[in-house]
Amino acid sequence: MIITDTHTHLYSEQFDQDRKLVIQKALDAGVSRFFIPAIDSSYTKSMLTLEKDYPKNVFLMMGLHPTSVKDNYKEELNLVKEWLDKRNFYAVGEIGIDLYWDKTHLKEQQDAFKTQIEWAKEKNLPIVIHCREAFDEIFEVLDEVKDEKLRGIFHCFTGTLEQARRAMSFNMKLGIGGVVTFKNGGIDKFLNEIELKNIVLETDAPYLAPAPFRGKRNESAYIINILDKLVDIYKLTPQEIADITTQNSKDVFRI
């Protein structure tokens, strides 16, 4: 059984003391494909080291995370573009809009989001969208840029059924993670109305650990708990869930 974690920050400082053990634990659980989103230039070296250490399992993205969009965001974007032109990446991400922590850089976030989407299209790459308290703002941008080249993943989807359908209308898969196991998460109530072909699995480790680990550091191995929840929702076997969601990830990342 091949399981794919389409979104995990394995280079995070939270894994500095036991990274090899955490990755081995995931591999032992059947998780053999790890897609690694970027945040900003301060993590690039760590991401490249991770890829060097696990060349058969780690697949890197490149992008500027919306919470890293500050006054110097143009400089950061230039570095993103340099890397995209220099070597192969599997997606532009994670990119998007986050209005939870700070709303003062909304215009800059919108500009960074649009710019990186255009780069993704130029490179024929998918985008991986970060959206926090910004569904309307994200959809507004996607409405502007929608065409046949637009594709990707709506990472850590936590919206409504209506928002899920709208996200999918932009050729996005829904990234389903630990929130689906939360008692008050909400998405488990309607996920069975979404065809499994539109779903990919993710952990967002070290964040958003699924039940029963909620509140603790998340790990890629815990994707098993997310998979088990989808078994309950879709009434399929673990093998079927793993096979379909991994194929979905291959369709998005084209690997």
Tell me the mean pLDDT per 10 residues along the chain, length 255: 97 98 98 98 98 98 97 97 98 97 92 98 98 97 97 97 98 98 94 98 98 97 98 98 98 96
pLDDT of residue 234: 98
Do 253 and 91 form a contact (C-beta atoms < 8 A)? yes
C-alpha–C-alpha distance, residues 7 and 11, integer Å = 12
pLDDT of residue 101: 84
C-alpha–C-alpha distance, residues 103 and 84, integer Å = 28
> Which residues lie closer than 8 Å to 35 by C-beta, 6 or more apart?
4, 5, 6, 7, 8, 59, 61, 90, 91, 249, 253
Q: Which long-range contacts (CB under 8 A, 24 or more apart) does 68-72 make?
A: 68/39, 68/40, 69/105, 69/108, 69/109, 69/112, 70/105, 70/108, 71/105, 71/108
DSSP letter, residue 205? B
DSSP letter, residue 119? H
C-alpha–C-alpha distance, residues 253 and 35, integer Å = 9
pLDDT of residue 185: 87
Q: Which of 108, 100, 207, 93 is nearest to 155 (CA)?
A: 93
Do 129 and 151 form a contact (C-beta atoms < 8 A)? no
> Which residues lie closer than 8 Å to 215 by C-beta, 6 or more apart?
209
pLDDT of residue 90: 98
